[in-house]
Amino acid sequence: MFDKLREECGVFGIYGHEESARLTYLGLYALQHRGQESAGIVSSDGERLHAERGMGHVSDIFQEENLARLPGRSAIGHVRYSTAGKVSLNEAQPFSVKCSFGQIALCHNGNLPDAIEARQQLERDGAIFSSTSDTEVVLHRIARSRAGDVVEAIAEALRNDEGAFSMLFVTPDKLIAARDPRGFRPLCMGELEGATVFASETCAFDLIGAKYIRDVEPGEIVVVEADGIRSLKPFAARTTSHCIFEHVYFSRPDSLVFGRSVNKSRHLFGRHLAREYPVNADIVVPVPDSGVAAAIGFAAESGLKFRFGLMRNHYVGRTFIEPRSSIRHFGVKIKLNPVRDLIEGKRVVLIDDSIVRGTTSKKIVKMVRDAGAREVHMRISCPPTIAPCYYGVDTPTREELIAAQNSVEEIRQFLEADSLGYLSMQGMREAVGDDADTRFCTACYTGKYPTQLGANVMTSRQRESIPAD
């Protein structure tokens, strides 16, 4: 893939529908952009849980044969992107356990940065882990809880976590959704033919014909069972810290995330960027696909022509066979190719959502020049990324982030672009409607984190880089 920050995963759940497993499959299909390494579904037939997990894309894993092994009227599902190389079935979610509360399965979008300390303590107490995932820590806490029921045990297991979690749990008779008090990661709630549905993004609802009702609120636990739906607020209130990068890159533009259209936010990113960094040019070209909406906004505000000057190959799998002989920039070329007749002789404004290490951006700038562009002006629809994320984003170390080590001018020189402009923090906040009622986490751009981070705190990437025992 490109040199991009990546979301760890997406979750989907449904309670009260005869086709729960197949609808979960479709929901995960819509959320495939949030994770491509593994996927899994756990269903409930009212008496016991049934699980199917596998490596690869959703459509590769689930066929009629194994979907038929997932009976029942409730199910949860998960798509995952691995971070530092633990590409194994042991890491695939949902995870499940049988304990004093009966069977329970869990899937998680987010990151618990202090999980390494909790894991070490649990191991000292005799716990045995089968994965590197912080999610497994939560299951062990639930299994050891002396709470009166499973809902109380879940609240107890999560009460002291300062990280990011949008979680779905399924038991033989319940589906439970939980979201951290700061609301880092999205989790929305919908309805389909009397069934209750949860998903990371509303695009999953659109595919199955479900109606979006509301977001699961920060700090809320929603319990769905035969008697109906109930809501609990068992966690101490915190200042809201929605991940702003959901609107910059992660989420699909056709989704509502944090109650706001992602497409609208990205369009406004481009308009603000055009005001802040105007340029005398001929055409605006997006780096597909995440740069498209911002590029449309930039073109509309600047009066320049919008052109799809780069074509993306959407059929590239997770791996491909490289030629034996060397081909310059092969890794980028197999995914992107310039449309020469649109670019040749033109002054091009190249719009992308972010620059991480800068290596891919450099190759794209050269590719556009080689296609005959007279000038290449790079515009980025977010501020420079200078700090790692501890709340569920696959972020390189600070040392690997080009903007943490270099000025904008130094980055421009590295890219060999004629000019470079990043969207300002103010422009980004205005575009997402960050007002008195909404707060976003911008730690990756400021280095100011909304939670206290301990000495042993780890990103998902750092945690997964630890060799397994």
Predicted confidence (pLDDT) per residue in 337-352, tens digit: 999 999 999 999 999 9
CATH fold for domain 6-241: Glutamine Phosphoribosylpyrophosphate, subunit 1, domain 1 (3.60.20)
Topology, domain 257-446: Rossmann fold (3.40.50)
pLDDT tens profile 360-400:
999 999 999 999 999 999 999 999 999 999 998 877 788 99
CA–CA gap between residue 166 and residue 108 (Å, rounded):
6
Report which of 50, 45, 41, 52 is spatially closest to residue 11, judged by C-alpha positions.
41
Question: Does the active-site annotation cover 9?
Answer: yes
Q: Give the active site residue among 9, 107, 188, 203.
A: 9
Inform me whether the pLDDT recorded for 188 exceeds 80.
yes
Mean pLDDT of the 281-306 span: 96
Higher per-residue confidence, 445 vs 434: 445
The rounded percent of the chain whose pLDDT value lies above 90 is 75
Distance between CA 445 and CA 431 in Å, rounded? Answer: 16
* Residues written for the chain: 469
Rounded (10°) CA dihedral 255, 318, 51, 173: -10
Tell me, yes or no, if the two domains 6-241 and 257-446 fold the same way. Answer: no
| Range name among 85-89, 141-145, 213-217, 312-316 with the lowest pLDDT average | 85-89
Which pLDDT belongs to residue 85? 41
Give the per-residue pLDDT at 408. 98
Q: What is the mean pLDDT of the chain?
A: 90
pLDDT of residue 2: 47
Tell whether the model's pLDDT for residue 128 goes beyond 90.
no
Domain boundaries, the chain: 6-241, 257-446
Q: What is the pTM of this model?
A: 0.91
